[in-house]
């Protein structure tokens, strides 16, 4: 197999792994480095960190340089 064929397969595999679940970002605990995607949060309120219990901060918007996936 040529290197070009291998690169093509890698890109095809990465495209199949992309989620389409309408995520807009993620909640983040800076102290614990915990991350919870917004689509995994129940309800409308900001979740508490599962590790320390502090309120998490919404960030990593898909419209910025960070990834929300």
**47-60: pLDDT as tens digits:** 999 999 999 999 86
Which residue pairs from 47-50 have beta carbons closer than 8 angstroms and sit at least 24 positions apart in sequence?
none
**14 within domain boundaries:** no
Q: Does the residue 31 lie in any domain? A: yes
pLDDT at 57: 94
The verdict on residue 43 lying in a domain is: yes
5 found inside a domain = no
For residue 8, being part of any structural domain is answered with no
- Whole-prediction pTM: 0.57
Q: Are 48 and 28 in contact (CB under 8 A)?
A: no
Domain membership flag for residue 55: yes
Tens-digit pLDDT profile for residues 2-22: 887 787 787 776 655 555 678
Number of domains in the chain: 1
Owner of token pair 């599962």? 50
* Residue 32 belongs to domain spanning: 23-64
């Amino acid at each position: 197999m040529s290197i070009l064929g291998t690169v093509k397969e890698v890109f095809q595999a990465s495209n199949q792994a992309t989620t389409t679940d309408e995520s807009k970002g993620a909640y983040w605990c800076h102290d614990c480095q915990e991350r919870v995607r917004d689509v995994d949060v129940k309800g409308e309120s900001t979740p508490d960190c599962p590790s320390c219990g502090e309120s998490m901060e919404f960030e990593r918007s898909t419209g910025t340089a960070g990834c929300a996936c």
